[in-house]
Amino acid sequence: MYLARILYPVKVLGPGNRVGIWFCGCPRRCEGCSNPELLEFQKRYETSLETVMSLIKKIAQNHVVDGFTITGGDPFFQPEDLSHLLKEIKQISDDIIVYTGYMKDELPTTLLKNIAVLIDAPYIKARNNNCLLRGSDNQTIYILSEKYRDAYKKYLATAENQIQNFATRDGYISVGIHRPDFKF
Ligand code: SF4
């Protein structure tokens, strides 16, 4: 699988202290994509589910994991790896947000059943209107899990967009929904 980064605690892409997971690779080329460095399927980001889960389990052993947010790249371009990962992380928390450039109706229900919240559709720069959790307002937030429906309704009604910066081996990484004119 091609997976570029795992960050914790991500507090700006969903409620609580989340493990953020960035897949690598997306053949779409949305103008203004917030992670252009992750669009190619890069060899240096090739890894295994075992390696990824070992890291995530270490985080979960030592910290509270309220949920996961999976983005990229587009995770649905690696559907089998995504499926395996969802089944594994669900054992830690089933509050799982997944971003995709596909439309929801294009996605297999076998994958959707392990996702609490799906945010779909390609990013459209001209429609970046500072929406909570959404890069552009053509995207839809689907609360797929009944268990989390009320919690997410409350979160979406009360939370505000924020940016969070992480110092990593690859330099500083800014996480969150950025406006088109954002400069780090
Ligand atoms: S679908 Fe998402 S990851 Fe792919 S190019 Fe568009 S914004 Fe970037």
Q: Which atom of ligand 1 lies at the shortest distance from residue 135's CA?
A: 7
One DSSP character per residue, 1-28 reads -BEEEEEEEE-SSSSSSEEEEEE---S-
| CB neighbour list of residue 155: distance below 8 Å, 6 or more residues apart | 14, 15
Q: Which pLDDT value is given to residue 183? A: 72
Separation CA 84–CA 97 (nearest Å):
15
Write the residue with the smallest CA distance to atom 1 of ligand 1.
101
For ligand 1, whether the C-beta of 4 sits within 6 Å is no
Q: Which atom of ligand 1 lies at the shortest distance from residue 38's CA?
A: 3
Q: Which pLDDT value is given to residue 69? A: 98
Tell me which amino acid residue 26 is: C
Answer yes or no: is pLDDT of 15 > 80: yes
Q: Which pLDDT value is given to residue 182? A: 76
Write the residue with the smallest CA distance to atom 8 of ligand 1.
33
Q: What is the pTM of this model?
A: 0.97
Long-range own/partner contacts, residues 143-150 (CB < 8 A, 24 or more apart): 143/116, 143/117, 144/112, 144/113, 144/115, 144/116, 144/117, 144/118, 145/94, 145/95, 145/115, 145/116, 145/117, 147/94, 147/116, 148/95, 148/116, 148/117
Write the residue with the smallest CA distance to atom 7 of ligand 1.
33
Decide if 177 contacts 162 (C-beta within 8 A): no
Radius of gyration of the chain (CA): 15
Q: Which atom of ligand 1 lies at the shortest distance from residue 32's CA?
A: 7
Q: Tell me the pLDDT band of 184, cut-offs 50, 70 and 90.
A: low
What are the tens digits of pLDDT across the range 140-165?
Answer: 999 999 999 999 999 999 999 999 99
Answer yes or no: is pLDDT of 104 > 70: yes
| CB neighbour list of residue 29: distance below 8 Å, 6 or more residues apart | 39
- Per the prediction, the chain carries an average pLDDT of 96
Q: Which pLDDT value is given to residue 135? A: 96
Q: Which atom of ligand 1 lies at the shortest distance from residue 26's CA?
A: 4
Decide if 64 contacts 11 (C-beta within 8 A): no
Answer yes or no: is pLDDT of 20 > 90: yes
Q: How confident is the model over 23-40, as a mean pLDDT?
A: 95
For ligand 1, whether the C-beta of 74 sits within 6 Å is yes
Cα 97 to ligand 1 centre (Å): 16
Cα 63 to ligand 1 centre (Å): 30
Give the residue extent of every domain in the chain: 3-175
